[in-house]
Amino acid sequence: MDIERARAAMQELGYAAWLAYSFADANPLALELLGLENQHLTRRFAYLLPASGRPRLLVHRLEAERFDHLLAERIFYTRWQEFDAGLQELLAGVSRVALDYQPGARIPYLSRVDAGFVERLRALGVETVSAAELLLHFQTWSAADLAAHRRAAAVLHEARDAALRFVKSRLPDAPPTELEVQQAMLRVFAERGVEYDHPPIVAFGANAARPHYAPTPASAATLKPGDVVLLDLWARQPGKVYADITWMAAWRPGDAVRAAFAAVAAARDRAVSVVAAAYAAGRRPAGWEADRAAREVLEQAGYGEYVLHRTGHNLGRRGPHGGGTHLDDYETHDTRPLIPGLAFTVEPGVYLEGKFGIRSEIDVYLHESGPEVTTDLQESLSEL
């Protein structure tokens, strides 16, 4: 964790102190920021970073060595009474802290601290505010991160192309199964040495109407004329940041499929244009704005009832879904700004149960000047 960078952000936002608290792995945001995500932790800890002065750490003696990389004044505990006394000592002289929670749990990606701990702080006379905007500054990418993302995206494009070539090679006489297409992409992943937390999604026909469908030996469909082919794949260079795309193809698509794709592509492009326009006007839009703009396109085209998820998510390190601002005014109302340095997906979709699903997903990186689409932009269905 870059303490000076953290303090600069705290001063910009008017935070006097940030308090990171977790029991075991309950707060992945804090664990990632403090470099603890790969540690085996089973006890509570609290780390206080003031805007000035030495950081302080309340930690169980059994696990103290796992925090050796953090430069902080240490307060140890073993018994619960010592934890209570230690928390009071940790917060001595502190009247207000930014905490990893969101009032009303409106943004569950941030609600990592339980209500009982918030009550305890307030009982000590400490005011709690959400650390939402502060945490965004730790979700931003460096130039090296962006370069690693581009390399990962190139592998995704290569794997997509390999999958489409494989499908075409089997048509019309020996249509492949979803699992066979998935394996074609995984071979590219293995050759290129990328990491992923779940194999790619390959969904044919009605299976594509299930956004998180995953093919298994029991469920894998064989491609049929008229079917859409949904390819959703994500990966990262080892230990780096993710790239994440969804590409649509179809074997002899009908008019309904073509119309749905056109609407989804228009919604995708509308979300990007809203962010670009806000940046051009010198404003940092909130995540909910882009989501609402995209869904308005789908609703006007008659697909409103077929939307099942938000428009996009922050791109992360530990997984494709990061902890930063999401394009969401559907599942949650994400009021966090889209600040320079953040990266996110734009992936509107419509899902006609029992028929087909269409999703188009791109990645976007935010420069100081505005958004850059960093992955291929699909303009029309890939026809097989």
If we measure between CA atoms, which residue out of 273, 281, 239 comes closest to residue 32? Answer: 239
Residues 132 and 150 in one domain: no
The H helix count followed by the E strand count for the chain is 9, 15
Tens digits of residue pLDDT in 160-204: 999 999 999 999 999 999 999 999 999 999 999 999 999 999 999
Residues 35 and 73 in one domain: yes
Residues 33 and 113 in one domain: yes
Residues 209 and 131 in one domain: no
- What DSSP line would sit under 236-264, residue for residue? ESTTS-EEEEEEEEESS--HHHHHHHHHH
Last residue of a domain, one of 86, 102, 136: 136
CATH number at residue 218: 3.90.230.10
pLDDT at 358 over 90: yes
- Mean pLDDT, residues 133-138 taken together: 89
Residues 275 and 150 in one domain: yes
pLDDT at 1 over 70: no
Residue type, 90: L
**85 is in which domain, residue-wise?**
3-136
Residues 130 and 148 in one domain: no
Query: In angstroms, what CA-CA distances link 37 with 28, 34, 195, 246?
Result: 7, 8, 17, 28
110/332: higher pLDDT: 332
CATH number at residue 117: 3.40.350.10
Residues 105 and 250 in one domain: no
* Rounded Cα–Cα distance for residues 356 and 377 (Å): 21
Residues 156 and 125 in one domain: no
Residues 215 and 97 in one domain: no
Last residue of a domain, one of 91, 106, 136: 136
Residues 194 and 304 in one domain: yes
Residues 364 and 269 in one domain: yes
Query: In angstroms, what CA-CA distances link 170 with 17, 128, 176, 248?
Result: 61, 60, 6, 18
Tens digits of residue pLDDT in 12-37: 888 999 999 999 999 998 998 899 98
Q: Which pLDDT does position 5 carry in this prediction?
A: 79
Share of the chain above pLDDT 70, in %: 100
Specify the number of domains making up the chain. 2
Residues 20 and 100 in one domain: yes
Tens digits of residue pLDDT in 267-289: 999 999 999 999 999 999 999 99
User: What's the whole-model pTM score?
Assistant: 0.93
Residue with tokens 């806000």: 278
Last residue of a domain, one of 136, 170, 194: 136
